[in-house]
Amino acid sequence: MTRETLHELVDGLPETELQAAARYLEFLSYEGDELADNDEYIAFLKQRVEECDQASAVGEAYSLDEIRAMANQWITKSSS
C-alpha cells in the first residue's frame, strides 16, 4: 500500500463515510504515540470525535480538502 493508493481510496469514499474515515485515520496516526497516556491528549481526541459525531448527526459532511485541513490542524495542535 502506498500513500498514493491510500489517497485514491479516500477519494473514492462516499461523502457519508468521510467523517468516520477521518476519525480512524487520526486514531492510526497516534496509536502507540507517547501522548496516548496523557489525559489532556485523550480529552483532545474525545472532543474531536464528539465534534465529528455532532456534525454527522445533523447531516453535515466535509470535503476531502476540509478533512485534510482539519487533520493538519489537529495534528499541529495536539503536538504543540
Could you please report the per-residue DSSP string of 22-71?
HHHHHHHHHTT-GGGG-HHHHHHHHHHHHHHHHHHHTT----HHHHHHHH
Residue 10 lies in a domain: no
**How many structural domains compose the chain?**
1
Q: Tell whether the model's pLDDT for residue 11 goes beyond 60.
A: yes
Tell which wins on pLDDT, 60 or 11: 11
pLDDT for the residue 62: 73
pLDDT digits (tens, 9 = 90+) for 24-56: 887 777 655 666 667 777 788 788 878 877 887
Residue 4 lies in a domain: no
Label residue 12 by pLDDT band (50, 70, 90). very high
C-alpha distances in Å from residue 48, one per residue of 3, 6, 23, 42: 24, 22, 8, 10
Residue 1 lies in a domain: no
Q: What is the domain extent for residue 51?
A: 16-79
Residue 24 lies in a domain: yes
Residue 50 lies in a domain: yes
Instruction: Give the count of beta carbons closer than 10 Å to the beta carbon of residue 75.
Output: 13
Positive or negative: CA dihedral 54, 20, 62, 16: negative
pLDDT for the residue 37: 67
